[in-house]
């Protein structure tokens, strides 16, 4: 899928209309994304994040949740400390 909109650094909308909130520690990976970047959405088994957006051409992935959901603040703070 291609990127339809990435006007906010922490939210990306894909060509299928899905919107994803990017995990704070992964935002730097998204800064080089362009509209033609081809991403796939993959479910992941993670306590905080439900999916990953994968850019196979760059061999990178970012952790995400649906954009209409909020991060569990305490768990995010702990995860950021542990990274």
- Three-state secondary-structure class, residue 6: strand
Tens digits of per-residue pLDDT, 25-58? 999 999 888 888 999 999 999 889 999 999 988 8
Per-residue pLDDT at 32: 84
Strand 11-14, strand 3-8: pairing: antiparallel
Nearest CA to 26 among 3, 44, 4, 49? Answer: 49
**Percent of the chain whose predicted confidence (pLDDT) is above 90:** 58
Per-residue pLDDT at 72: 87
CB atoms within 10 A of CB 55: 17
Tens digits of per-residue pLDDT, 53-64? 999 888 899 999
Mean of the pLDDT values across residues 68-80? 86
Mean of the pLDDT values across residues 1-19? 91
């Amino acid at each position: 899928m291609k990127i339809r909109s990435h006007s906010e650094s922490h939210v990306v909308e894909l060509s299928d209309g899905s919107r994803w909130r990017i995990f704070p520690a992964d935002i730097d990976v998204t800064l080089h994304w362009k509209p033609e970047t081809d991403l796939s959405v993959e479910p992941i088994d993670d306590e905080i994040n439900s999916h990953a957006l994968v850019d196979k051409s760059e061999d990178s992935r970012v952790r995400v949740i649906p954009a209409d959901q909020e991060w569990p603040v305490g768990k995010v703070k702990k995860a950021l400390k542990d990274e």
